[in-house]
Structure 1
Amino acid sequence: MFLSRNTNTLDAKGRVSVPADFRVEVGAGRESGAGIFDGIIVWPSFDGPYLEGGGIALLRDYQALLENMDPYDDARIAFERAIFAESRRLSFDANGRVSLPKELAEYAELNGQVTFIGLGRRFEIWNPAKYESQSASARKMARENRHRLRLAGHRNISGDGAGTGTGAAS
């Protein structure tokens, strides 16, 4: 699971160190048969000037969700183009760094510092100042919608048809 917030330096060559626990997380996906790629996958968010990312397992989950849609549905095609066509595989170097392509760094307005935001199964990469400017509103929205999280505990969030009703999340 991708957790926490980490800010690292983006060097002049476009390299940034991926947080160690993020590297462990994508490695765990590799060990479970999700693929042999040793790195992360990122794409420009269609929701703002930041990057979204994860491992191969996340992309396979997105693919499975999209395959439930009509293959000619305009929304499905838009999601496939926005996620899969724009994705970049970024391999780890010996020091746990990746090289961010210039167009992705420019899209997310990254220069000097990069903030990794863990979001469970996925993560985001932000310009630190831009992230700070929106994080208070995100906390406010979470507070205002906390009842929805409680309600979600009564539904089966695993998708296997066997809800526990305990509200516990793993």
Structure 2
Amino acid sequence: MSHFLGEFECKLDAKGRMMIPTGLKRQLPEAEAEGLVINRGFEKHLVIYTRKEWNLIIEDLAKLNQYEKRTREFIRYFTRGATELSLDASGRILLPKALLEYAGIGNDVVLACQLNKIEVWDQKAYDAQMDSEPENFANLAEEVMGGLGRRNDG
């Protein structure tokens, strides 16, 4: 499983194409051969997965009980708009217009690496999201990570 690192500011051209930053492209060696998949995030943003990671997610979804209505709804909404991406000869990807509209993404974009995926945010929306950092981040860390019994990283 790939874990990505970094935060990258990018620009979209008039056609919705974006150059993959060099620092991120180095982390995606299989992207040119296998491609990428983009879909809607849980908040108003988009998410890019490697094809390998997307296939693992689809395998997990296929294990769910599709006789249950909530499961079918989740699968429909989760996969809605999922689109294959490929790098063009110039190292750009074309982001689907419908997904850009869904996420309210303009020309200024942030690619935020989140473990096995890359979140795609409109710059202003991302800044607003990050400006709402919890008042006591240490309490949030304890609540979310406290039961893992891991080493102290703080």
The alpha-carbon distance between structure 1 residues 144 and 77, as it changes in their structure 2 partners (threshold 3 A), is same
Comparing 138-147 with 104-113, greater Cα deviation is found at: 138-147
The alpha-carbon distance between structure 1 residues 99 and 140, as it changes in their structure 2 partners (threshold 3 A), is farther
**TM-score relative to the length of structure 2:** 0.81
1:87 is the counterpart of 2:89: no
The alpha-carbon distance between structure 1 residues 68 and 57, as it changes in their structure 2 partners (threshold 3 A), is same
- Look up the match of 2:13: 11
Which amino acid in the other structure matches residue 124 of structure 2?
Answer: A
The alpha-carbon distance between structure 1 residues 111 and 29, as it changes in their structure 2 partners (threshold 3 A), is closer
The alpha-carbon distance between structure 1 residues 84 and 131, as it changes in their structure 2 partners (threshold 3 A), is same
1:133 is the counterpart of 2:135: no
- State the shift of 1:95 in Å: 2.2
Question: How many residues are paired up?
Answer: 150
In structure 1, C-alpha distance between the alignment counterparts of 2:90 and 2:134, rounded to whole Å: 34
**TM-score relative to the length of structure 1:** 0.74
Which amino acid in the other structure matches residue 128 of structure 2?
Answer: S
- Select 1:117's aligned residue among 105, 112, 123: 112
1:53 is the counterpart of 2:48: yes
- Look up the match of 1:37: 34
1:149 is the counterpart of 2:145: yes
CA contact (8 A) 2:17 2:94 kept: yes
Which ranges of 4 or more aligned residues in structure 1 deviate by more than 4 Å?
138-142
- State the shift of 1:75 in Å: 3.0
Consecutive unaligned residues of structure 1, counting only runs of 5 or more, are: 31-35, 155-165
**How well do the aligned residues superpose, as a CA RMSD in angstroms?**
2.6
- 1:2-22 per-position Cα deviation (integer Å, ceiling 9, x unaligned): 221111110111111123343
- Look up the match of 1:63: 58
- State the shift of 1:140 in Å: 4.6
- State the shift of 1:29 in Å: 7.5
- Look up the match of 1:23: 25
Identity of aligned residues (%): 22
Consecutive unaligned residues of structure 2, counting only runs of 5 or more, are: none
CA contact (8 A) 2:31 2:87 kept: no
